[in-house]
């Protein structure tokens, strides 16, 4: 403990001593308080924390020895230096036996005061550090003594199943939930080969892929597997490495997701029913509005026609929202992307561009399609890929000003087919960019206020790309345009 910022209380009936101590020690950065008698000093100590007390032994009323006794009742962590003047050395020694740390005789020089104060504070710091180390040592010894019991308690209380498997694929540790979910007999499993203890080929394959280094030792595998009695489980399998990065085994966590899947199915079914019930009446309303707008039921004034058009556009926006909700619920429940077949992306994107060309022509937005003829096939769901690029190209058209340009190109990036959609539109600000794949999020500013959207298009795109084990990246600069890049794994030869 340094003198600087230490809190010191001077209890002395002589103002010259109080003021002198305060002046000397304050120059060294101490916070010094002074009182003229023991009773005031005790009251301060009860309400404030002090590192050190400079205490006069001979004072009217409560003397120094009585103050020491009272301080000891409050705290033993406050160091006391007694100031002796008329008192004898024997009295100072008696004070130190009662709990004082040291004494300084009157009169004293500033250097003498600094030395004795520094000595006391440094001793206190060493004492506190030693006490802290003792407590830490006690904690460490206690922790070591309880470690085995603690680990077993933690494992037994885990809500998910845990297995630890060594490099020879033998079970070295598991908890009760794992034995239940995978129907493992614990008394026969420790030290036994994993393959003999579980009837789950998916989990065994995930463990083998990591131990046999088929997918790289840095990879953590995750996937749905089937447990005992066909219970759906989510498995996470990670390598256990030594300091030299050698894989010495794996840790597998298995989680019962049957309730979660049931809730997801109920949610998807509810959304599907609601959207189906909404879609028909909204479509009918839109048709009636279109009929009125075209004058089928009588001529309209210009202001009436404009209001009809605005109402119809809002209706179309609601229909888009209903369709997006239905699509998102299908993807979220795993009902979409069921037809994963070899697919040529050139054909898919050309079809999407042809579909959206009238919309681009209306804004005089030029679409440059630069797709190589020798692109490899990918395993993909055709409808899902059309959904992805319809959303991305449609967004590029909507958020590009009249007369703008969109470039769509492709290239191979290692084992991935990379397709880029580049526009010179209004772009996305840095604050909004991290949120664009969140459901119902839309960029809100003066330039997007008139653009109708649901906030589900990009989340749908990301869900579909993720389902194809792909990746989507975005680069954008507000006022300069955006680039969306899709990476899709090619079919391995």
Cα dihedral: 61, 93, 71, 106 (round 10): 60
Question: 476: which residues sit within 8 A by CB, 6+ positions away?
Answer: 427, 428, 433, 482, 483
pLDDT value of residue 217: 46
Rounded to whole angstroms, how far apart are CA atoms 92 and 102?
A: 8
Looking up tokens 């009272």, which residue turns up? 70
pLDDT value of residue 233: 92
pLDDT value of residue 388: 92
Rounded to whole angstroms, how far apart are CA atoms 196 and 213?
A: 21
Which bin fits 403, alpha (ψ -120 to 50), beta or left (φ > 0)? left
Nearest to 208 by CA among 169, 240, 245, 247: 169
pLDDT value of residue 165: 92
What homologous superfamily does CATH list for 158-256? Answer: PAS domain (3.30.450.20)
Do the beta carbons of residue 25 and residue 117 sit within 8 Å? yes
Nearest to 123 by CA among 52, 184, 192: 52
Q: Which two tokens stand for residue 250?
A: 């794996």
Which bin fits 364, alpha (ψ -120 to 50), beta or left (φ > 0)? left
Q: Which parts of 227-301 fold into alpha helices (H)?
A: 258-293
* Domain ranges within the chain, ordered by starting residue: 7-130, 158-256, 260-332, 341-489
Element (H, E) at 413: strand 405-413
pLDDT value of residue 419: 93
Do the beta carbons of residue 120 and residue 99 sit within 8 Å? no
Rounded to whole angstroms, how far apart are CA atoms 235 and 201?
A: 12
Rounded to whole angstroms, how far apart are CA atoms 254 and 257?
A: 9
pLDDT value of residue 95: 81
At 157-185, the pLDDT tens digits run 888 999 999 999 999 888 999 999 999 88
pLDDT value of residue 482: 93
Specify the CATH architecture of the domain 7-130: 3-Layer(aba) Sandwich (3.40)
Do the beta carbons of residue 211 and residue 250 sit within 8 Å? yes
What global pTM score does this model have?
0.44
The sign of the CA dihedral 193, 197, 202, 203 is negative
**What are the residues facing 422 on neighbouring strands?**
407, 483
Cα dihedral: 148, 152, 153, 155 (round 10): 140
pLDDT value of residue 421: 95
- 79-84 sheet: strands from edge to edge: 31-35, 7-11, 52-56, 79-84, 102-105
- Hey, what CATH class is 341-489 in? alpha beta
Q: Which parts of 29-109 fold into alpha helices (H)?
A: 38-47, 64-74, 89-98
Nearest to 88 by CA among 67, 68, 103: 103
pLDDT value of residue 1: 47
pLDDT value of residue 452: 63
**What are the mean pLDDT values of the chain's consecutive 10-residue runs (493 residues total)?**
76 90 89 91 89 88 88 84 74 81 86 88 83 71 61 82 91 90 82 90 90 66 87 90 82 89 74 69 77 76 80 75 67 58 88 92 92 82 88 91 92 88 90 84 68 75 87 91 91 59
Length of the chain counted residue by residue = 493
pLDDT value of residue 214: 67
Nearest to 277 by CA among 333, 334, 326: 326
Q: What is the number of other CB atoms lying within 10 angstroms of the CB of residue 44?
A: 16
Nearest to 315 by CA among 356, 357, 270, 278: 278
Element (H, E) at 171: strand 171-174
Rounded to whole angstroms, how far apart are CA atoms 205 and 274?
A: 41
pLDDT value of residue 334: 55
Do the beta carbons of residue 466 and residue 441 sit within 8 Å? no
């Amino acid at each position: 403990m340094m003198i600087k910022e230490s809190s010191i209380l001077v209890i002395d009936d002589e103002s010259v001593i109080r003021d002198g101590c305060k002046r000397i020690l304050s120059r060294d950065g101490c916070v010094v308080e002074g009182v003229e008698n023991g009773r005031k000093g005790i009251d301060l100590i009860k309400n404030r924390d002090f590192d050190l007390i400079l205490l006069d032994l001979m004072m009217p009323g409560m003397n120094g020895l009585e103050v020491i006794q009272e301080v000891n009742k409050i705290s033993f962590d406050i160091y006391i230096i007694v100031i002796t003047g008329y008192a004898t050395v024997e009295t100072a020694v008696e004070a130190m036996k009662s709990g004082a740390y040291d004494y300084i005789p009157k009169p004293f020089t500033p250097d003498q005061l600094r030395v004795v104060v520094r000595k006391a504070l440094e001793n206190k710091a060493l004492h506190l550090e030693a006490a802290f180390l003792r407590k830490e040592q006690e904690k460490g010894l206690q922790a070591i003594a309880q470690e085995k019991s603690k680990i077993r308690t933690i494992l037994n209380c885990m809500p998910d199943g845990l297995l630890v498997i060594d490099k020879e694929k033998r079970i070295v540790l598991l908890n009760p939930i794992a034995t239940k979910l995978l129907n493992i007999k614990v008394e026969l499993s420790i030290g036994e080969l994993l393959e003999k203890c579980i009837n789950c080929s998916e989990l065994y394959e995930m463990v083998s892929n990591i131990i046999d280094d088929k997918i790289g030792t840095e990879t953590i595998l995750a996937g749905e597997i089937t447990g005992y009695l066909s219970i759906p489980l989510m498995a996470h399998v990670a390598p256990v490495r030594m300091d030299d990065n050698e894989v010495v085994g794996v840790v597998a966590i298995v989680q019962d997701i049957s309730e979660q899947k049931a809730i997801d199915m109920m949610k998807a079914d509810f959304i599907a029913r609601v959207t189906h019930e909404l879609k028909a009446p909204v479509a009918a309303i839109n048709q009636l509005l279109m009929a009125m707008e075209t004058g089928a039921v009588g001529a309209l004034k210009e202001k009436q026609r404009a209001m009809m058009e605005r109402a119809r556009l809002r209706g179309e926006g609601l229909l888009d929202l209903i369709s997006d909700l239905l699509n998102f619920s299908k993807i979220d429940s795993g009902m979409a992307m069921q037809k994963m077949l070899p697919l040529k992306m050139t054909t898919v994107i050309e079809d999407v561009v042809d579909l959206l060309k009238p919309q681009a022509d209306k804004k005089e937005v030029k679409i440059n399609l630069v797709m190589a003829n020798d692109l490899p096939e990918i395993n993909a769901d055709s409808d899902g890929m059309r959904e992805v690029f319809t959303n991305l190209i449609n967004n590029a058209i909507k958020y590009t000003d009249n007369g703008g340009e969109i470039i769509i190109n492709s290239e191979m990036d290692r084992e991935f087919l990379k397709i880029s959609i580049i526009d010179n539109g209004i772009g996305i600000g840095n604050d909004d960019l991290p949120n664009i794949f969140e459901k119902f999020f839309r960029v809100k500013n003066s330039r997007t206020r008139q653009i109708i959207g649901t906030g589900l298009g990009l989340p749908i795109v990301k869900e579909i790309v993720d389902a194809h084990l792909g990746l989507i990246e975005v680069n954008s600069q507000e006022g300069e345009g955006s680039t969306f890049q899709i990476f899709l794994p090619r079919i391995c030869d």
